[in-house]
Chain A
Amino acid sequence: QSPEAARLSAEDISPSSNGPRDDDPDDPDDLFAEATEEVSLDSPERQPILSDGPSPAITPVTISPRVDVFDRSPDLVKHRLSSCDGMNAYMVYKVMTKTSLSIFSRDEVCVKRRFSDFLGLHSKLASKYMHMGYIVPPAPEKSIVGMTKVKVGKEDLSSVEFVEKRRSALERYLLRTVKHPALLKDPDVLQFLESSELPRAVSTQALSGAGILRMVNKAADAVNKMTIKMNESDAWFEEKQQQFENLDVQLRKLHASVESLVYHRKELSVNTASFAKSAAMLGNSEDHTALSRALSQLAEVEEKIDQLHQDQSYADFYLISELLGDYVRLITAVKGVFDQRMKAWAKWQDAQVMLQRKREAEAKLQYASKPDKLQQATDEIREWEGKVQQGERDFEQISKNIRREVGRFEKDRVKDFRVVIMKYLESLVHTQQQLIKYWEAFLPEAKAIA
């Protein structure tokens, strides 16, 4: 049973609170929990475009029960704390999980997590599973700026837009993680989703996406430094690696393309709003009553169209741009496991070399007649024979895992893209239907001008 796409709703309080400092080591106690109120960030008009199913609740108490009980779905709800001096304020996210799977202790649980907690989870999973060839979903990005650094306005950490982008990124991260059959059962994952207290992740620097990237790069460096070139007996790995190299390049190009689209769509919204204002002023100054009225209506239509542009821009971004961004990051993880396999191969080869040396050493000792050292040498040979066998087993295991992981990745890729295309088309259809309504309402106004 694969977990299904989940809901992510966001809540915020007190507009006067400071921006979040996610990696603050001096963690104040949750003294203000009772003092907080929750206000929804979701606007009803956006639901038809972003949600696929029951709409997110405003407070945890009123979340509507999910229809399909066999799927587990984490919901992320953002909740903000602020301390009195504002300096230690940070963002806390509510993670709500609804499930029927028996590995969970309850079928509905809600926990509070900080951004660094997510990074901590990822770091644990990466260290446990990456060397086995599992594609561990990459940690959410610290910076929300697009990879091609196309910015519309400064990155404001406390802004609604930033918070929503991060919330969405965190939700997608969790969804990918629980989609993985092995990770879903991992005790760290279960603890993350269920336990009310989580040990504070330390040294977030090392846990950030950049930190993991460094870990991945170390493996890549090790591969480059290998003196013995790997004799790839299996063409599949070579072909796949090449494919992923190409895909990486293509996805980055696509991501840049769509960021351009998002940028221009926002520009269009701004220009439309500006035009609407100028049309309104024209209508106000116009003497002829019916023309004045029509011009005012024109201004209203343009304002509504501006809102449509904004909504469509969200769809452009959250559906397509973030999908592509996620996949660019995923490809890095995929390339990482291939490097891990090479590392495993190198380890196996090194063990064989060492075994050979030990055998040679033992042979020498045969003639030297030093019985203690001979015994030690024989023991070492046995030790290294074991390591060689282990090395071979590990290499075969990781190769097997990677094949399976890549197969799963490719299936998920097609599924993910299909889902996005359909959601995007739904948003496009909705926009056009709204436009039809607006134009049909305006036409009689234009015709009424005497």
Chain B
Amino acid sequence: MEVSSAEAALSVSASSIRITDVTQDGDVLTFAIASQKLNSSAGVCVFRIYEDFDWLQQSLFSQENLPGLQGIIFPPLPSKALPSQSNTQTKALKQLGFLALGQDWQSYCKALEFYLQQVAAHPTLCKCKALDSFLINSESPGKQRGRKGIFNRLSQAVEEMRKESHKDVDNFFQNERNKNTNLAALSKVATEKLLDVVMTEQKLALACGHFATSLHLCVNQDDAAAVAFSKVCLKLSDVIEAVNRNFEKVASNDLSTLGLGLDLESRYQEAEKVWECVLMIACKLIELETVKKGTEKAKASKREVMEAFQKAVEKEFNLISSVAKQEIERFHSSRVNVLKNFLIGWCELQLNTAKEFAELYSQHLEACRNMYSE
């Protein structure tokens, strides 16, 4: 992904951003974030906690003097993970879905990493100083709460707008909104169904492990017959153990690619919903402003002033509109690309796993045939 080469650009390469490690201290997760400097071969590594990510997101929202800010689709930040002991897996799954699975917060880290890459790759957002600071300052941004940006001011209104259906100022957005609502619901369902599949795969792996262990308990060296039977039980145990590993692999593949991809898609659809609301509100505000000014200026009846104002309003509206349209196209091509990569990754992993285990089972079969033909 290309980084914009304009002024105040990011000093690191967007695609090099990695979360290389995560440590847990009680309730707090600390992430190690590494990236590559653009103008040198030097790497940078910083340590951040979730609150720092939140600060970054708030900073992005509340950028002032950024024309057309309301038109931007902000990359979605995953929810905060709550790793305390009292948090059972069911609670974690409810809260984070797929991101709660996987060992040592791997999926969660991948999602955060992706978030940073998306922000860094965004032509407008990458210029935000907060991002650069987040990625290269050894000191954390601290606990400063971001200035109340557009999201905070409008957050309540956003919730209300989502529930009602308003006529959009532009047909283009109406159409987009309908598609989005539909896709958001469907991708959420698909994510949940895949999560069910992965959970069952893990249960199967566990059942196989259990069975394989039980077979080991049948080993008995009392006499020749017992020894012969024990050998057979051990063989079956090996086979079932292989099936166990097979399922673990398949589940892990599902999790790390398709699961992550669908989860991201789902959260992006939600982000788009929010974006639509913001747009509508922004447009509504402009309308209200126009009406207000219109009422005020009508008395002065200075036509030039009125026209100048009208032009300014139109200009602002058109700017937001054009940013929004660009964002939507960028959004769509990006999400298609992201899904494509996840689908390819998923397919390749599963194909490799199938080949690996076809080979393993064949070897077992061959060994059995040789042993038992004596």
Query: A277: which B residues are within 8 A, CB to CB?
Result: 193
Contact status B229-A414, CB under 8 Å: yes
| B233 is an interface residue with CB less than 8 A from chain A | yes
| B167 is an interface residue with CB less than 8 A from chain A | no
Instruction: Compute how far the CA of A435 lies from the CA of B358 in the bound complex, rounded to whole angstroms.
Output: 9
Known: A275-B197, A414-B228. A288 touches B336 (CB 8 A): yes
Known: A417-B236, A418-B372, A446-B340. A257 touches B211 (CB 8 A): yes
Smallest CB–CB gap between B364 and chain A, Å?
5
Closest residue of chain B to A306 (Cβ to Cβ) is: B197
Query: B228: which A residues are within 8 A, CB to CB?
Result: 410, 414
Interface centre among A274, A424, A432, A433 (most CB of B within 10 A): A432
Interface string of B181-214 (1 = CB under 8 A from A): 0110011011001101100110110011011001
Smallest CB–CB gap between B248 and chain A, Å?
14
Contact status B350-A243, CB under 8 Å: no
Instruction: Compute how far the CA of A397 lies from the CA of B239 in the bound complex, rounded to whole angstroms.
Output: 42
Instruction: Compute how far the CA of A167 lies from the CA of B201 in the bound complex, rounded to whole angstroms.
Output: 31
Query: B207: which A residues are within 8 A, CB to CB?
Result: 257, 260-261, 264
Contact status A421-B368, CB under 8 Å: yes
Instruction: Compute how far the CA of A274 lies from the CA of B189 in the bound complex, rounded to whole angstroms.
Output: 10
Query: A433: which B residues are within 8 A, CB to CB?
Result: 358
Which of A243, A275, A414, A422 is the one whose CB lies under 8 Å from B222? A243
Interface string of A420-436 (1 = CB under 8 A from B): 01101110110011011
How many residues of A are counted as interface, with CB atoms below 8 angstroms from the partner's CB atoms?
58
Closest residue of chain A to B225 (Cβ to Cβ) is: A410
| B92 is an interface residue with CB less than 8 A from chain A | no
Instruction: Compute how far the CA of A442 lies from the CA of B365 in the bound complex, rounded to whole angstroms.
Output: 28
**Majority DSSP secondary structure for residues of A touching B:** helix
Contact status A421-B239, CB under 8 Å: yes
Interface centre among A278, A425, A450 (most CB of B within 10 A): A425
Contact status A254-B194, CB under 8 Å: no
Query: B211: which A residues are within 8 A, CB to CB?
Result: 254, 257-258, 260-261
List 17 A–B pairs whose Cβ atoms lie within 8 Å, in order of A's numbering: A254-B218, A257-B211, A260-B211, A264-B200, A271-B197, A281-B186, A287-B179, A414-B228, A421-B235, A428-B361, A432-B357, A435-B354, A442-B347, A447-B340, A447-B344, A449-B336, A449-B340
Given contacts A279-B190, A447-B344, 18 further A-B contacts (CB under 8 A): A250-B217, A257-B210, A264-B200, A264-B203, A264-B207, A274-B193, A281-B189, A281-B190, A417-B236, A421-B368, A424-B236, A424-B239, A425-B364, A429-B365, A432-B354, A442-B347, A446-B343, A449-B336
Binding site for B on A (CB under 8 A): 239, 243, 246-247, 250, 253-254, 257-258, 260-261, 264-265, 267-268, 271-272, 274-275, 277-279, 281-282, 285-288, 290-291, 294, 298, 407, 410-411, 413-414, 417-418, 421-422, 424-426, 428-429, 432-433, 435-436, 439-440, 442-443, 446-447, 449-450
Binding site for A on B (CB under 8 A): 179, 182-183, 186-187, 189-190, 193-194, 196-197, 200-201, 203-204, 207-208, 210-211, 214-215, 217-218, 220, 222-223, 225-226, 228-229, 232-233, 235-236, 239, 243, 332, 336, 339-340, 343-344, 346-348, 350-351, 354-355, 357-358, 361-362, 364-365, 368-369, 372
